[in-house]
């Protein structure tokens, strides 16, 4: 069982986002537990995050979805099954967090809202597990 | 007023997706009308789509959000304010559609579900209008 904490700045007040996150959390639940740690500011992120963690950063490395599945498998193997994720706010990530991260990952060149980033992250985690399992979800 | 048709394969049965799309459609409504044309297969897309249109294709060109705002301004200037968007299904886009498109745009190297692609598209259109208007939405 993977235990993943996702650290993020901001709230999740939108009803649609709660429903969407609940849907993917449920799909992930046989293999992965998701815990959300929501903080108010980027500065607060730096004091809360515990390693090992991946930072989501527009300046990071992009991979395709099969590449993500391989990368996560490799990181899980190297660091145990408790790797966390950090989503920065609009002020950008603290450079110290970037430096301490095990991987600096970019979803896209585009700027997404932190809410949508959370949803994309869960869907990609689900997709990565499906790719590893060889199901028809990702084809 | 921009009039945008979005052609996509698949359904929008998820309640959360309907709510999220409605939220962004409402936010866009002072400046942009969104019309959805949902078809069942990639083959059906090719017969329905009318030019000028942009294809969303993982193999296309990536831009950042300010770059998207500039690109769309340019395309709207060159082709009028009725440019449409085509989101392919899991079989990939018909090469003829790619060839006829005014731009081949990639959101990311990652594969997204067509539902999430629709949501990301609307949020990026809203973001592009906000960037053009110089509001604090994109900072």
- Checking if the pLDDT of B70 tops 90, the result is yes
Flag whether A114 is in a domain: yes
- Cβ proximity of A36 and A12 under 8 Å: yes
Residue B92 in this model has a pLDDT that exceeds 80: no
Q: Is residue B139 part of a domain?
A: no
With beta carbons under 8 A apart, name residues in chain A contacting B90.
139
Q: In what order do the strands lie in the sheet with A103-105?
A: A32-39, A2-9, A84-87, A53-61, A103-105
CB within 8 Å of chain B, chain A residues 13-42: 14-17, 19-20, 23
Residues B14-27: what's their mean pLDDT? 95
Cβ distance B139 to A90 less than 8 Å, yes or no, reads yes
Check residue A68 and give its pLDDT.
Answer: 98
Give yes or no for a contact between A93 and A15, defined as CB atoms under 8 angstroms apart. no
**Domain contains B53:** yes
Q: Taking CA atoms, what residue in B is nearest to A117?
A: B120
Chain B closest CA to A67's CA: distance in Å?
A: 9
pTM, to two decimals: 0.95
Taking CB atoms and an 8 Å limit, are A20 and B23 in contact across chains? Answer: no
Mutation pick from A15, A110, A126 vs chain B, by most beta carbons of B within 10 Å, is A110
d(CA A121, CA A10): 16
> Is the residue at A139 inside a domain?
no
Q: How many structural domains compose chain B?
A: 1
Q: Which residue has the higher pLDDT, B52 or A13?
A: B52
The pLDDT of residue B84 is 96
Q: Mark yes or no for CB contact B108/A111 under 8 Å.
A: no
Which residues lie below 8 Å from residue B135, measured CB to CB, with a gap of 6+? none
pLDDT band, residue B74 (cuts 50/70/90): very high
Position A139 scores a pLDDT of 78
Q: Predicted confidence band at B88 (pLDDT cuts at 50, 70, 90)?
A: confident
Query: Closest to A124 (Cβ–Cβ): which among B58, B65, B110?
Result: B110
B22: closest CA of chain A, how far (Å): 10
CB burial readout A103-118, b (16+ within 10 A) else e: bbbbbbbbbbbbbbbb
Query: Do the Cβ atoms of A109 and B19 come within 8 Å?
Result: no
- The minimum CA-CA distance between A1 and chain B, rounded to whole Å, is 24
Domain that holds residue A87: 2-133
pLDDT in tens, B107-129: 999 999 999 999 999 999 999 99
- Hey, is A39 helix, strand or coil? strand
Rounded average pLDDT over A74-102 = 90
Instruction: Output the domain CATH number for residue A88.
Output: 3.40.1280.10
Q: Does residue A89 register a pLDDT over 90?
A: no
> Is A138 a member of any domain?
no
B12 has pLDDT over 80: no
Quick check: is A66 in a domain? Answer: yes
Residue B4 has pLDDT above 90, yes or no: yes
In the predicted model, is pLDDT for residue A75 greater than 90? yes
The alpha-carbon gap from A131 to the nearest alpha carbon of chain B, in Å, equals 12
| Confidence check: pLDDT of B104 > 80 | yes
Could you give the CA distance from residue A2 to residue A79 in angstroms, rounded to a whole number? 12
Of A20, A62, A32, A54, the residue nearest A130 (C-alpha): A32
- On average, the pLDDT of chain B sits at 93
Nearest C-alpha in B relative to A61? B109
- Over residues B35-51, the mean pLDDT reads 90
């Amino acid at each position: 069982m993977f235990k993943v904490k996702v650290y993020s700045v901001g709230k999740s007040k939108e009803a649609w986002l709660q429903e969407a996150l609940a849907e993917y959390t449920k799909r992930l639940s046989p293999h992965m537990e998701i815990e959300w740690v929501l903080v108010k500011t980027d500065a607060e992120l730096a004091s809360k995050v515990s390693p090992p963690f991946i930072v989501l950063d527009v300046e990071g490395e992009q991979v395709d979805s099969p590449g993500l599945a391989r990368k996560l498998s490799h990181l899980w193997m190297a660091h145990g099954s408790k790797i966390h994720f950090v989503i920065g706010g609009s002020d950008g990530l603290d450079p110290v967090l970037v430096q301490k991260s095990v991987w600096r990952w970019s979803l896209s060149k585009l700027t997404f809202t932190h809410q949508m980033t959370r949803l994309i992250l869960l869907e990609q985690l689900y997709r990565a597990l499906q790719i590893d399992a060889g199901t028809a979800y990702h084809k």
